[in-house]
Structure 1
Amino acid sequence: MQIDPRGPRFAAVLTSAVLAASLITDSGVLLAVQALVFALGAAGRSPYSLLFRAVVRPRLAPPAELEDARPPRFAQCVGLAFALFGLLGHLTGTAWLALAATGLALAAAFLNAAFDYCLGCEFYLLLHRARPRPGT
């Protein structure tokens, strides 16, 4: 499946805002909402993607090229893992875990939003290249 590469960057802006608000307010509820968004994104049903397609993309010129959807979906799985660790920190009262996991997720989302550099996508590509090839 091919996607507009501007969609994940738009989602990263919204994700950054939600994660920053979660850190500022120490809100496990906001982090849980973002974890749900990550889970839906990993399944290809991100509400941020739906918002991009319905509201933002019609106002833009067509993309110069499309990209493979697998790396951004993998990145959503990575984000989900960090969000779940953050939630574990909130639920167990382990503040350092909640802060560290949420902060790392925010750092990755911000890199994508501000600089169009997707850490999860890059990690996907590294894993893909490291995978043994049939017959070798």
Structure 2
Amino acid sequence: MSAPDGPLDPRGVRFAAIVTTVVLALVLLSGSGWLALAQTLVFALGAFAGMRFTPYGVLYRLVVAPRLGPPAEREPAAPVRFSQLVGFVFAAVGTVGYLAGLPVLGIVAIAFALAAAFLNAAFGYCLGCEMYGLLARARA
């Protein structure tokens, strides 16, 4: 991964989770491997380049954030980037499934990614961030 992002506005992270939830639901409804590929690329940008480079992050910064006050708190970027990596893996598997004519693989992998995105969008619970914390404690 490249240089880490600075602390993140948790509202931006949640906004990205909401958009991701919508996109992944559309993938499941349409069965579109190309839309799954687009979301996979968004996850890749977040995981490997940083959240500030994702289209959802840019949209939040340019359109949504100026209409809000400053965030009350910020959260570290590393757990969020790890969650983007996990999303990337599931979305990549789902994309391969859809584009290779294995729709069950696509559906299952995208459904897992959708469940994680929905937990963050609806409840502010970042499953990948929790996994990051567990792995960090296991390493220590």
Are 1:5 and 2:7 matched, yes or no? Answer: no
Find the counterpart in structure 2 of residue 113 from structure 1.
Answer: 121
Q: Which amino acid aligns with 1:56?
A: V
In the alignment, the residues of structure 1 paired with residue 85 and residue 109 of structure 2 have an alpha-carbon distance, to the nearest angstrom, of 14
How far does residue 80 in structure 1 lie from its aligned partner after superposition?
A: 0.3
Aligned counterparts, 1:1-136, within 5 A? 1-42=6-47, 43-44=49-50, 45-132=53-140
Q: Which amino acid aligns with 2:139?
A: R
Structure having the higher Rg: 1
Give unmatched runs, 5+ long, in structure 2.
1-5
Counting aligned pairs with the same residue, the percent is 59
Task: Note the alpha carbon deviations across 1:70-119, whole angstroms, 9 max, x for none.
Answer: 11111000000001110121133222110000000001000000000000
Q: Aligned-pair RMSD on alpha carbons? A: 0.8
The alignment's TM-score, normalised by the length of structure 2, stands at 0.91
Q: How many residues align?
A: 132
Moved over 6 A (4+): none
